[in-house]
Chain A
Amino acid sequence: MSATGSSLNNQRPGPPLWLLAELTYRCPLQCPYCSNPLDFAETRDELDTESWFRVLREAREMGAAQLGFSGGEPLVRPDLPELIAEARRLGYYTNLITSGIGLTEEKVAQFREAGLDHIQVSFQASDPELNDAVAGSKKAFRNKLAMARAVHEAGYPMVLNFVIHRHNIHQMDDIIRLCEELGADFVELATCQYYGWAFENREGLMPSADQLATAEAAVNAHRERLAAAGSAMKLIFVTPDYYEERPKACMNGWGSLFLTVAPDGTALPCHSARILPIEFPNVREQSVSSIWYDSPGFNHYRGDAWMPEPCRSCDEKDKDFGGCRCQAYLLTGDADNADPVCGKSPHHDRVLAARRAADHATVPLAELTYRNARNSRVFARA
């Protein structure tokens, strides 16, 4: 069996239930853990409104029900209200994933009118100084606070997202209190995943084991307090998989539920996958259905015939699918390998080395490589 397309054990995959529409890579912020590709500045040719309409329609016909408008900062697209309205008309549950920069009370109301179901506002920290230092913007925090309040007042469910790393992980108490004050329904405390810019900056971002244990204890104490008070606010704490001994079931399996369409129309099984040495299809050239079911890119890691040892004979391979292909590629140079997070991986020492480095790291925030067009062009040239 070849590793491209015939490793499905004759099982046709289910439809993509989740569509992530990355409308643009443009963004006013410079977060050093951005998941966009390092060479994002090379992408200039964004899909137009009509092409997005077609993608939305085709994916919805196949069964996609959850839709995320993401980026970059999706608010920089002037056609966002039209895209929201069309998505809602098609029956999607529509999520806007935004930094809040560029949002106004008028837009919050306009999107509501267009049928937007949910706005997720991301924060970088619980205080303005740290928030704005991480974001690389001087007034980001103030703006985000105002917009979080506007989103809540407009009647949207409130999801606040904090990306957690070694420079803000001590703020759990303050972050959770801020979320309560803002009336959040869901709080995502998402520790950096080391892809894209976060991989470049890993040593300056990854918390130590001690930091992580302290933060987890704080979150658990707040969970108990909230539950005892009958609060509906839910805390979702995503810990870094570098501290696990078994890999995550990345994306619930390659090409199994998730479909990402990048700003230039490239279709991906996850937003990070374009780093892989695999040719991915483009919605400009193929229907979403033929991309999902028939393209070599999407079939590449379906099933398990592609797996080398130790995954091939592992009794957990149906549970975690060998972990994350991007992580295997970033840490070993070969995306077929077992995710080195796994204790059975012959490359697990690389994850252990990163943990040791996190115990002694001294890289200050100011020395991280910030995500901006200038730095991106340096990566593109290299």
Chain B
Amino acid sequence: MNARVPRLRPGFRFQWEPAQQAHVLLYPEGMVKLNTSAGAILETVDGQRSVDEIIAALEARFPDAGPLATDICDFLEDARERHWIILE
């Protein structure tokens, strides 16, 4: 059970960039180009959904991918350590 709710750190913005054909994370004077899975996870980070709800949503969206909990939790922990997101 993981009821914690991730949200983007204030000042950080997530958006799709057509020129890069990728999701990016924008922050003061910086930009990270995200790979497909990081983009799919951050797309669900809306400050409302819990980690469990995010896992359920992504497993429903990608039914052939198998269990995703470990990958998603690892990514969110990594994003928290980089101070991209707040997880509480």
Binding site for B on A (CB under 8 A): 15, 17, 62-63, 65-66, 68, 91, 93, 95, 117-118, 120, 155-157, 159, 185-186, 232, 234
Contact = CB atoms under 8 A, between A and B. Distances in A.
Majority-rule SS of B interface residues: loop
Contacts of A17: 20, 31
B43 interface: no
A156 B11 contact: yes
Contacts of A63: 17-20
B28 interface: yes
Contact of B31 (A15, A66, A185, A234): A66
B24 interface: yes
Contacts of B19: 15, 62-63
A157 B28 contact: yes
A234 B26 contact: no
A120 B19 CA distance: 27
Contacts, number: 50
Contacts of B31: 17, 65-66, 93
A80 B43 CA distance: 32
A65 B28 contact: no
B83 A117 contact: no
B88 interface: no
B50 to A, nearest CB: 22
B28 A120 contact: yes
A93 B83 contact: no
B20 A159 contact: no
A234 B28 CA distance: 12
